[in-house]
Structure 1
């Protein structure tokens, strides 16, 4: 297995007018971070030096034009472009969105080619990244297309993990999206992630209801009784420890969430409001179900504070630590599940 500092963490720069540059600088100004990984920032030396000057940082960059020049133990900056970019903190800019996507595409290519081990994405603006070439609502959907697998937004901290049946779906369409096939697929993705990525051998999963009070026996909607409950019963009969549906309004306040390894919410705000209330600033957005590891902080571009030097880097730092740990856990799992008889027969044939 790789030594800790040899784990190469690719970092896409995100929206240059947001807080991405600042939280990257603050994270790696602490030289101890280089004991955990070797970062490669996908941006340009001009942009990173602009941030360095603006925030009066003393960080030293190792600027590279080819990815075979990555140096272990340095903060590498890969030039995805050479031209200067007009950075205006707090401003939504279509041109800046194009650079965010250029960074993401180069970092993803490096991830697919195993040049970097994991990817940590700084926040983007979902509006200004849209173009004829890029028509995805965000990182997760793009990476699912590029990397393959059943992607799932999985919000994680040390003591809380929340997955979603539906993520960026309008509220009026949620019930139509939740089908038995979707429920099975998402639960399976969470279950496998808990085993492989978090080393939990017998995961225990709670699922939150679709309607208030899980429909109150059909009085407030029939989807829980007609779709969710029978599907969960079938999954449980297959041997998975899956429980629910639980009424979402009291589930977190009663501390019931502490009895489970993961909670699956039916829709975005049902899961993310309690998650961010309980863990804001420490949470990590992990894309489970992909064949590569990708994490990001649990916040957005924060235009309102961009450039002011007050952004908190802790969630970004946690995203890096989580990516490294998941990468190691996957390696351990692969090693543990290799068939020794198969390995022996291969050795005999050689």
Structure 2
């Protein structure tokens, strides 16, 4: 059986014209990370050789055409294509988008077949990936279709975790998407993730209001009173420590967020603006609720600095380590719940 420390981390290359290749190289320049995992980059030997030359990297890639041929202690490159690719940093290109999807699909297939243990995705361009065969607004929606479970965008650091009731939804449609069923589902997903993925036995969860000042008793909208409060009351009656709704404008500035294990925002910018303000460059986007572990950095393709050697790899590095920690926590949780008398996880994990 494979030892727990040899966790196989699959990496989708993302947009080849963005900063993905650079942050991947910078992350694995420090060979000590290979003591914790075995990386497999889903791309092509030619593309990675281009990055190595351009960024003067010292990494020696190990090229493979089958996952069972990977080498532990090395940075593996799984060849998803043999076609030549013209990489032009900073340029939006639909052909480059197609290669990003080839990488993602190959990595996801390996994840589903347990050939890799976790998936870390480098940034994509949500516009140039669109095609007749791929009509998803991003990674999360695609993985929600391909993997089992109820997906939730969960932005995480060591001290802050922010989940979303709605993610890539136009602001004008947010209130129509938020239903009692959705609220219960998302809170259940966050609650279970905190227990299984983060080892928090009795999670405390705060929920932010939909409208300014949570509606001011109906003066600024009725959704908080008609939908959100009743749903939270029902969840509390079932024994979960769920609090709110809180007015979003003062919640983070007052440091109230420090009193909770997770915060659930009603819509994308309500949660991600304060999260990225407090933790930019260190945060991780985690897709909670699925039967597999997927993380990504908290930033995009950054075309404006692509190819210039200026990209900060810290968020991507945190995504790798977060995926490893969450995977180990899940293994530990499964072992403890399947054998309650066992106090510690075994050295072998399967």
Alignment TM-score > 0.5, same fold:
yes
Aligned to 1:119: 119
Aligned to 2:177: 177
Q: Which runs of 4+ in 1 moved over 4 A?
A: none
Residue 155, structure 1, aligned to residue 155, structure 2: yes
Cα distance in 2, alignment partners of residues 15 and 219 from structure 1:
45
Residue 338, structure 1, aligned to residue 338, structure 2: yes
Aligned to 1:228: 228
Q: Alpha-carbon deviation of 1:58?
A: 1.0
Q: 1:332 to 1:340 in 2, by over 3 A?
A: closer
Aligned to 2:56: 56
Residue 26, structure 1, aligned to residue 57, structure 2: no
Cα distance in 1, alignment partners of residues 235 and 174 from structure 2:
21
Cα distance in 2, alignment partners of residues 254 and 67 from structure 1:
49
User: What RMSD over aligned residues (CA atoms) do the two structures have, in Å?
Assistant: 1.1
Cα distance in 2, alignment partners of residues 131 and 119 from structure 1:
23
Aligned-partner SS, 2:214: helix
Aligned-partner SS, 1:92: coil
Cα distance in 2, alignment partners of residues 68 and 82 from structure 1:
19
Aligned to 1:214: 214
Cα distance in 2, alignment partners of residues 340 and 318 from structure 1:
31
Cα distance in 2, alignment partners of residues 297 and 340 from structure 1:
35
Which structure 1 residue ranges, 5 or more long, are not aligned? Answer: 342-350
Q: Alpha-carbon deviation of 1:3?
A: 3.6
Aligned-partner SS, 1:126: coil
Cα distance in 1, alignment partners of residues 174 and 2 from structure 2:
43
Aligned to 1:81: 81
Map of 1:67-146 to 2, 5 A cutoff? 67-146=67-146
Q: TM-score, normalised by structure 2?
A: 0.96
Aligned to 1:328: 328
Q: Deviations over 1:189-230 (max 9, x none)?
A: 000000000010000000000000000000000000000011
Aligned to 1:251: 251
Q: TM-score, normalised by structure 1?
A: 0.96
Cα distance in 2, alignment partners of residues 83 and 233 from structure 1:
56
Cα distance in 1, alignment partners of residues 298 and 36 from structure 2:
21
Aligned-partner SS, 1:56: coil
Cα distance in 2, alignment partners of residues 2 and 216 from structure 1:
56
Cα distance in 1, alignment partners of residues 307 and 325 from structure 2:
31
Q: Alpha-carbon deviation of 1:296?
A: 0.2
Q: Deviations over 1:241-284 (max 9, x none)?
A: 00000000000000000000000000000000000000000000
Contact 1:167 1:267 in 2 (8 A): yes
Cα distance in 2, alignment partners of residues 281 and 233 from structure 1:
36
Cα distance in 1, alignment partners of residues 229 and 120 from structure 2:
36
For these two proteins, the number of residue pairs brought into alignment is 341
Contact 1:5 1:34 in 2 (8 A): no
Which structure 2 residue ranges, 5 or more long, are not aligned? Answer: 342-350
Aligned to 2:238: 238
